[in-house]
Amino acid sequence: AQKVTQAQTEISVVEKEDVTLDCVYETRDTTYYLFWYKQPPSGELVFLIRRNSFDEQNEISGRYSWNFQKSTSSFNFTITASQVVDSAVYFCALSEIQAGTALIFGKGTTLSVSS
């Protein structure tokens, strides 16, 4: 069965701190995709990144970086030098080729960045 666990419910940091959001997934499929979405206070989900199961290269986009490790079934997200605008709920999601195209979301991690 497919499952996504985001063990950190809430994280609070001060501006300029680095923060890592954890994501652990379960799947029996060999071909799957992992995603991160941001949901700011305005409510609209914003796509951040998609990775497929065959590409374990880490990715960096500005202050954002992602670490994908199949050995530990984890897809962690790091924000470097956090800013107040990073305050949001962050969701990790999984989709398996065999199970269809639906996204299975974790419960999300609420990140609060104070100035």
Partner 1 sequence: DTGVSQDPRHKITKRGQNVTFRCDPISEHNRLYWYRQTLGQGPEFLTYFQNEAQLEKSRLLSDRFSAERPKGSFSTLEIQRTEQGDSAMYLCASSLPGLAINEQFFGPGTRLTVL
Burial of 112 (0-12, 13-18, 19+ CB in 10 A): middle
Q: Which stretch binds partner 1 (CB under 8 A): 14-22, 55-63, 73-81, 92-100?
A: 92-100
Helix (H, G, I), strand (E, B) or coil at 84: helix
Among 32, 34, 26, smallest CA distance to 1 is for 26
Task: Decide whether 106 or 111 has the Cβ nearer to partner 1.
Answer: 106
DSSP label of 71: G
CB of 39 to partner 1, least distance (A): 9
Count how many residues are written for the chain: 115
Number of residues counted as binding partner 1 (CB under 8 A): 24
CB of 104 to partner 1, least distance (A): 7
Give the binding site for partner 1 (CB under 8 A): 4, 33, 35, 37, 43-47, 50, 52, 91, 93, 95, 97, 100-108
